């Protein structure tokens, strides 16, 4: 059974090809190789995807072009139906997706300047060029979601799916942990905040007087790990991309101007506008965080020790204590259970989880609570936390008892795929389809050939 995928990497693929075309020496012939409804597939589209396949380590295989065309035919069928069903994607949604992708590509390549040099076009020009492509991708995705939105995987579906997996094909699951936490932020005093403000004000005045250079000062003293090596430069961003207070200050600046001190959840900043391009700006900043005192660390530690004692005495459960006392909004109302952002479950693979976290919980027995350990939240605030291993599995072959959620996700994906395949079978019989004669003998396309117009 073929797996239907959305081809969401086309933009990145084309950009890569533009960057590496001199090395790849790819000759792309533009001719129509497929038509679905009002949508055309070009040979260059297929070659772009094929070169991406090779760049990712794939072996030269002419049949892969047939597989690529198969996926593109399905995506064009979805796009055609999205237009017929009046599925809508707003300009704002397209703009947000374009901004997100551009930020990703800039991060991957190193800077906006380097991206523009590689592409020979400005970011604004690139957005204009790929706007239709991104909109079509989003329409395709929405159409697919519309088709599969009511598909669910019942317990019997999950069991049936699992029982039909050949035993020698069942995946091996490494040790996994479910971990609960109670987080206590370490308080920062007004005096500590004032110390940071005073230091930033000193930096600002020295820069204005020519005693310091902003870039050098950011490199030496900024506490933003993502930008200090680049002299505090953040790269271009638009409205809605940053913390509101940071963004409000940034967009008021003129090129070269330095802001007043700005407070965000990450700490305190001074900003300098580098450049403005349309609705996007590039700034550099210096971030300083108030240093927490030993006294406040001790206060937080003693508080968590007292909570730990009460849980061990049975006065309160870990779940209730997390809800009452934890400062972590993401876990406190979920029994303190940490969520694995990679797969959306509450299980963490011992081989891929954060190493510091692994060493903190590795020696804990089930139900045993750690002593307060250091922790930095997503905003890099200093904190302490208690950890408890709720469950732990040994390395094993996937089974329903220990891996139900993973198997359910796979079963649901399979059921959605079957639903989509049924939809494709029905819709391609009602839709104009044309395939270039060079591809009519592709085994991957045998189910499509009989619907080719005029054949």
Distance CA 86, CA 139 (A): 10
Buried b / exposed e along 21-58 (16+ C-beta atoms within 10 A)? eeeeeeeeeeeebbbbbebebbbbbbbbbbbbbeeeee
pLDDT of residue 455: 59
Distance CA 264, CA 98 (A): 26
Match 């035919």 to its residue by tokens.
73
Q: In this structure, which topology does domain 175-187+293-394 adopt according to CATH?
A: Chitinase A; domain 3 (3.10.50)
CATH 1.10.4030.10 positions along the chain are 10-153+414-449
Distance CA 116, CA 208 (A): 31
H/E stretch holding 452: none
Q: At what angle do helices 318-325 and 294-313 cross, to 10 degrees?
A: 150
- Whether the Cβ atoms of residue 144 and residue 8 lie closer than 8 Å to each other: no
pLDDT of residue 21: 43
DSSP letters, 10-71, are HHHHHHHHHHHHHHH-------EEEEETTEEEEHHHHHHHHHHHHHTTPPP-THHHHHHHHH
pLDDT of residue 121: 82
Range 409-414 contact pairs with CB under 8 angstroms and sequence separation of 24 or more: 409/343, 410/161, 411/153, 411/157, 411/158, 411/160, 411/161, 411/162, 412/151, 412/152, 412/153, 412/157, 414/161
pLDDT of residue 278: 81
Does the reported pTM lie above 0.85?
Answer: no
- Whether the Cβ atoms of residue 383 and residue 331 lie closer than 8 Å to each other: no
pLDDT of residue 181: 96
Neighbours of 210 (CB within 10 A): 7
| The CATH number of the domain covering residues in 190-288 | 3.10.50.40
Chain centre to alpha carbon of residue 262: 28
pLDDT of residue 105: 81
- Whether the Cβ atoms of residue 163 and residue 387 lie closer than 8 Å to each other: no
10-153+414-449 homologous superfamily: Porin chaperone SurA, peptide-binding domain (1.10.4030.10)
Distance CA 274, CA 408 (A): 50
pLDDT of residue 106: 78
Residue 280's nearest CA partner among 226, 235, 230, 233 is 235
CATH 3.10.50.40 positions along the chain are 175-187+293-394, 190-288
Buried b / exposed e along 123-147 (16+ C-beta atoms within 10 A)? beebbeebeeebbbbbbbbbbbeeb
Question: What sign results for the dihedral spanned by CA atoms 420, 423, 428, 431?
Answer: negative
pLDDT of residue 95: 83
pLDDT of residue 70: 94
Residue 350's nearest CA partner among 169, 170, 168, 179 is 179
> Does residue 181 sit in helix, strand or coil?
strand
Neighbours of 311 (CB within 10 A): 21
- With vertex at residue 153, the alpha carbon angle to CA 150 and CA 155, rounded to the nearest 5 degrees, is 145
pLDDT of residue 67: 94
pLDDT tens string, the chain, 455 residues long: the values are 454 554 444 444 444 444 444 344 444 457 999 999 999 999 998 998 888 888 778 888 888 999 999 999 999 999 999 999 999 998 888 888 888 888 778 777 777 778 888 888 887 888 888 899 899 999 999 999 999 999 999 999 999 999 999 999 998 888 889 999 999 999 888 999 999 999 999 999 999 999 999 999 999 999 988 888 889 998 888 888 788 999 999 999 999 999 999 999 889 999 999 999 888 899 999 999 998 889 999 999 999 999 999 999 999 999 999 999 999 999 999 999 998 877 778 889 888 888 889 999 988 999 999 999 998 877 778 899 999 999 988 889 999 988 898 899 899 999 999 999 999 999 999 999 999 999 999 998 988 987 776 55
- Whether the Cβ atoms of residue 383 and residue 199 lie closer than 8 Å to each other: no
pLDDT of residue 17: 45
- With vertex at residue 27, the alpha carbon angle to CA 23 and CA 30, rounded to the nearest 5 degrees, is 140
Joined together, the tokens standing for residue 269 give 């900043």
């Amino acid at each position: 059974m073929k797996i239907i995928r959305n081809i969401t990497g086309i933009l990145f693929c084309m950009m890569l090809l533009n960057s590496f075309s001199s090395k790849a020496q790819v000759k792309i012939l533009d001719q129509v190789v497929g038509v679905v409804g009002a949508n055309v597939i070009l040979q260059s589209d297929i070659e772009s995807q094929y070169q991406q396949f090779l760049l990712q380590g794939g072996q030269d295989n002419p049949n892969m072009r047939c597989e690529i065309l198969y996926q593109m035919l399905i995506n064009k069928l979805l796009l055609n139906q999205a237009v017929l069903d009046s599925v809508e994607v707003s300009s704002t949604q397209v703009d947000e997706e374009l901004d997100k992708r551009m930020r990703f590509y800039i991060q991957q390549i190193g800077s906006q300047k380097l991206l523009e040099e590689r592409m020979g076009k400005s970011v604004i020009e690139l957005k204009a060029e790929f706007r239709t492509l991104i909109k079509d991708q989003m329409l395709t995705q929405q159409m697919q979601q519309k088709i599969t939105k009511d598909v669910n995987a019942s317990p019997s579906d999950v069991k049936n799916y699992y029982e039909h997996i050949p035993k020698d094909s069942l995946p091996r699951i490494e040790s996994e942990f479910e971990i609960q936490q109670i987080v206590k932020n370490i308080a920062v005093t007004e005096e500590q905040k004032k110390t940071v403000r005073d230091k930033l004000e000193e930096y600002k005045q020295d820069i204005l007087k020519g005693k310091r250079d902003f870039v050098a000062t950011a490199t030496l003293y900024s506490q933003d790990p993502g930008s200090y090596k680049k002299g505090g430069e953040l790269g271009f961003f638009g409205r809605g991309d940053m913390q509101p207070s940071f963004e409000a200050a940034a967009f008021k600046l003129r090129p070269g101007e330095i802001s007043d001190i700005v407070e965000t959840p990450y700490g305190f900043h001074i900003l300098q506008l580098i450049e403005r391009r349309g609705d996007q700006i590039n700034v550099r900043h210096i971030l300083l965080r108030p240093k927490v005192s030993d006294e406040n660390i001790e206060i937080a530690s003693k508080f968590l020790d007292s909570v730990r004692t009460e849980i061990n005495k049975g006065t309160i459960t870990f779940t209730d204590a997390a809800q009452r006392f934890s400062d972590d909004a993401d876990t406190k109302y979920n029994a303190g259970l940490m969520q694995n952002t990679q797969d959306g479950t509450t299980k963490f693979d011992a081989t891929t989880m954060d190493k510091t976290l692994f060493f903190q919980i590795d020696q804990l027995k089930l139900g045993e609570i750690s002593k307060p350990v250091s922790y930095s939240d997503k905003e890099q605030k200093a904190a302490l936390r208690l950890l408890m291993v709720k469950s732990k599995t040994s390395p094993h072959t996937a089974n329903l008892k220990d891996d139900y959620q993973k198997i359910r996700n796979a079963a649901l994906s399979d059921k959605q795929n079957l639903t989509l395949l049924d939809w494709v079978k029905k819709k391609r019989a009602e839709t104009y389809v044309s395939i270039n004669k060079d591809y009519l003998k592709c085994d991957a396309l045998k189910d499509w050939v009989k619907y080719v117009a005029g054949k």
